[in-house]
Amino acid sequence: MNPKYARLFEEVPLKCGVTLKNRIVLAPMTHLSSCEDGTISDEELAYYARRSAGVGTVITACAYVTPNGKGYARQFSAHDDRFIPGLKRLASTIQEKGAKAVLQIFHGGRLSPPSDVPDGVPVSASAVASERKGAVVPRALEDAEIVEIVKGFGEATRRAIEAGFDGVEIHGANGYLLQQFFSPHANRREDRWGGTVEKRLAFPLAVVDEVRKAVAAHATKPFIVGYRFSPEEPETPGITMAETFVLIDALAGRGLDYLHISVNDFWSTAHRGTDDPRSRTEIIYERVGDKVAVIGVGGIKTADDAAKALTSRVPLIAIGRALIVEPDWVEKVAEGREAEIATTLTRDDQARLVLPDPLWQMIIHSQGWFPVAAESEEQ
């Protein structure tokens, strides 16, 4: 191994007592490959098995916690006990390869497709549509419904524990329901769940507390709890870095094991809410790094990218698309073969890379996803 990459392979102890074997995390990525009924498919098990041997931690694609929280087609669920057997297969598939298995749990809120939720109407903090193309106006949740969704996160955590996962990641990023409640764009409420920035924190913090309550009640060994968040929103009004400071200060005092920043570029700088010229990753780490571990992510493709990311002092880095193109990324770096890491795809690569067909179709029809050799573009 090249000595400049040695830090990637250091162990990382977490607050709960779990020790990760290295600093590399498989980022949670949508694969669209679960069964139509929300159960785990053989194809997604094979996909995870192919990518779990080198990394220290695997964070799965998100599982929805209530029937009205489904975010997209072919997504798996954790909203009922009947899903535990499949979740158990997923956890053991990852763990058998040597990685810790973390189940990401979420609710789609106003981003849920109408065709995939009861009554055909997505729900959210308020009846305000997303600014995304084709967005519909959601129905504002009643107080009792909000309480039930909070309980849904706790129940999903219990199921993750019973399925043998090593932890859960609460998905509070990418415009989904937890972010919607924190967002001044999506949340126009004037009750206990909205208003000031502190009151907009009520739902995310209630979910965190319910998840930790479930861990205390059901886990018989150390169990990881993380939280993913997007530090800013493009909408006006929208979340700014100044508001994110309020969020992460509150989360850092909640006994979590890590905070996972959701950005496309690890080194991207803030747009609003601070004059600090450093990357958002560095700013966030400096603010909470002595209280809770931080996972940085965004555009890490090469071993040099990963080594540079660690200069920010974040203890953990998540790699996504590079591990789709090169499932042996970690092993090749460890063996001093980083020059052999693949960076492009051809039309013959689907089987070799163990990519489920829905994911493969998404890749080859999405411009800018990552480099694809010219012959693949003909498909």
CA 226/CA 103 separation, integer angstroms: 10
Interatomic CA distance for residues 240 and 65, integer angstroms: 28
Of 143, 173, 83, 351, give the one whose Cα is nearest residue 75. 83
- Angle CA(265)–CA(260)–CA(187) in degrees, nearest 5? 95
Give the separation between CA 130 and CA 137, rounded to whole angstroms. Answer: 8
Per the listing, tokens 């002092």 go with 313
In the block, residue with structure tokens 């829905």:
358
What's the rounded Cα separation, in Å, for the pair 194 and 191? Answer: 6
Catalytic residue, from 176, 227, 258, 285: name it: 176
Q: Are 125 and 193 in contact (CB under 8 A)?
A: yes
**Angle CA 177–179–180, to nearest 5:** 60
**Rounded CA separation 221/157 (Å):** 14
48 is catalytic: no
Angle at 47 between CA 366 and CA 17, to 5 degrees: 115
3-class secondary structure for 12-75? EECCCCCEECCCEEECCCCCCCCCCCCCCCHHHHHHHHHHCCCCCEEEEEEEECCHHHCCCCCC
Burial 195-216 (b: 16+ CB within 10 A, else e): eeeebbbbbbbbbbebbbebbe
Neighbours of 291 (CB within 10 A): 17
Q: How far apart are CA 357 and CA 351, in angstroms?
A: 9
Residues carrying an active site annotation:
176
